[in-house]
Amino acid sequence: MNRKYLYPLLTVLIIVGLYYAEQYVDRQNEAYPESIKTVGDKTNSEFDDSYLPTSTTGVIVKHNYFSLSYSEAHEQAEWVAYELSKDQLAKNDFDRPDFVEDRKVKSKSAHWRSYKGSGFDRGHLCPAGDRRFSFEAYHETFLTSNISPQNNDFNGGVWNKLEQKVRYWAKKYDGVYVVTGGVLKDGLKTIGAERVSVPEAFYKIILDSSEGQYKALAFLIPNEPTNKSFYEFVSTIDAIEAQTGIDFFPKISSEKQHALESKIDIKAWGKR
């Protein structure tokens, strides 16, 4: 083909390809528009202010079904917080979407390709399994602001078992509040062109506030394979705050915070 016609043709093909790629991303993003209300469901904006942690970065992003504090330096959330109510427990089998960047993070969240070939899973912080009660909620968990590099055996092992236990507690106690994330600090290994930090450990804090009475249980688990039970990694909230610099429940009174955060009470959660 004459070059006179080849280059214009290639230009047209590239423009058409970019157009359809953009349309595809937009369709993916339609899974979590700015305001969604599902029948029988309450969105994150209705409860998260009560127990929202502090942010060390000042970048708090509120989505419909979870909130997060984004760390641009580490290209991931330092925490993701959400309520898991009893009526949200479901096993709907939705098609698994592609991961997409979070448009609400002004500095842009990491691209999923940063994880490709890294040897680490794109580990959900708010689990997709906690958001199967609606199509929109499920798809929202595939924002890249909601993932962090996790060891495959860790993600599919002890961490997955803890996530299942959280769902059990949500059913048993008619809902719980969850805060989770990786411990972010200087000097961590990074992956991808965007240098996404690989946390050496992940934490998960579960709060039950039934009838105004508080109880909490926290876990701090190394990001590595283990055959140990997640109960072997129970931690005080104070210890996790010391490592992260985050105040997890700043709106609870100082007296109640001390009782919650300085002690470990596994028996209160049915563990004997």
The dihedral region occupied by 212, where left means phi > 0, alpha psi between -120 and 50, and beta the remainder, is left
Q: Cβ(208)–Cβ(215) under 8 Å?
A: yes
Which letter does DSSP use for residue 143 in this model?
A: B
Measured CA distances, 96 to 54, 129, 140, 227, 259 (Å): 32, 11, 11, 28, 41
Which of 84, 71, 145, 82 minimizes the C-alpha distance to 111? 145
Please name the residues in contact with 141: beta carbons below 8 A apart, sequence gap of 6 or more: 65, 66, 124, 126, 127, 128, 130, 131
Q: Which helix (H) or strand (E) element contains residue 182?
A: strand 176-182
Q: Which of 74, 124, 139, 258 is catalytic?
A: 124
Report the amino acid identity of residue 256: K
Q: How far is it, in rounded angstroms, from Cα 246 to Cα 58?
A: 11
- What is the DSSP annotation of 203-234? EEEEEE-GGG--EEEEEEEESS---S-GGGGE
Q: For the CA atoms of the chain, what is the radius of gyration? A: 20
For helices 237-244 and 254-261, what crossing angle results, to 10°? 100
State yes or no: is 124 an active-site residue: yes
The catalytic residues are 124
